[in-house]
């Protein structure tokens, strides 16, 4: 029994190192932060989660920049639900709270009472019940001393149940992802500032011609 346990643990460590290697390649491959976020979410699914989403603060609003599931139709369905029922920015739990506090949330089990508490109306409750949410982790994305988003892992049809060890791994992924996304956003902002300056110079030149 101990030998089997040791072999299983060694295999999990190897799989985790392989995942980090793949994630590192993705996160260093693009300077477009939305592309980086979406490719990371797609790497997480189905290796670590059935659903994965990335949310970032954009102009003071929380915006979902990536969402992944093995079934593209389910992704579209989930996006439509989110558009109709956006998360409460002042909610005491969930993604907005993690972004506000910078503290991760772990839900080893998601009982129906939790779904009822989070539903905005009966139709919303019916929809989120259909998602089959079983366990979840929401971890902050932070860089340069500020939390600017969150990475969410959700277990559903796979039957996974997350624990403290999974949360530590999720936080490791989030730290690496935050640096990559922050660098990509800085690059985007610098490029936009350069384009704005060039446009202003062009307009000024025409006015003084």
The per-residue pLDDT for 38 is 93
Indicate whether 85 pLDDT > 70: yes
Q: Which residues of 16-31 are buried (b: 16+ CB within 10 A; e: fewer)?
A: eeebeeebeebbeebe
Tell me the three state secondary structure of residue 50: coil
Task: For residue 73, name the pLDDT band (cuts at 50, 70, 90).
Answer: very high
The per-residue pLDDT for 6 is 62
The per-residue pLDDT for 200 is 82
Q: What is the 8-class DSSP label of residue 87? A: P
Indicate whether 127 pLDDT > 90: yes
Mean pLDDT of 189-207: 83
Phi (first) and psi of residue 71, to 5 degrees:
-105, 110
CB contact at 8 A, 104 and 153: no
The per-residue pLDDT for 163 is 95
């Amino acid at each position: 029994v101990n030998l089997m346990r040791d072999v299983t643990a060694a295999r999990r460590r190897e799989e985790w190192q392989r995942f980090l290697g793949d994630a590192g390649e993705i996160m260093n491959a693009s300077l477009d932060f939305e592309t980086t976020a979406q490719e990371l979410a797609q790497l997480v699914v189905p290796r670590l989660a059935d659903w994965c989403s990335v949310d970032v603060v954009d102009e003071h609003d929380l915006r979902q920049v990536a969402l992944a599931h093995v079934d593209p139709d389910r992704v579209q369905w989930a996006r439509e639900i989110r558009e109709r029922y956006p998360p409460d920015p002042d909610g005491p739990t969930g993604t907005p709270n993690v972004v506000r506090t910078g503290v991760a949330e772990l839900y080893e089990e998601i009982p129906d009472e939790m779904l009822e508490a989070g539903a905005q109306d009966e139709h919303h409750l019916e929809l989120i019940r259909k998602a089959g949410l079983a366990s979840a982790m929401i971890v902050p994305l932070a860089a340069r001393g500020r939390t600017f988003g969150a990475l969410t892992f959700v277990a559903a049809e796979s039957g996974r149940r997350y624990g403290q060890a999974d949360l530590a791994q999720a936080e490791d992924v989030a730290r690496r992802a935050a640096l990559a996304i922050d660098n990509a956003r800085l690059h985007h902002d610098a490029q936009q500032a350069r384009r704005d300056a060039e446009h202003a110079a062009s307009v000024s030149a025409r006015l003084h011609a």
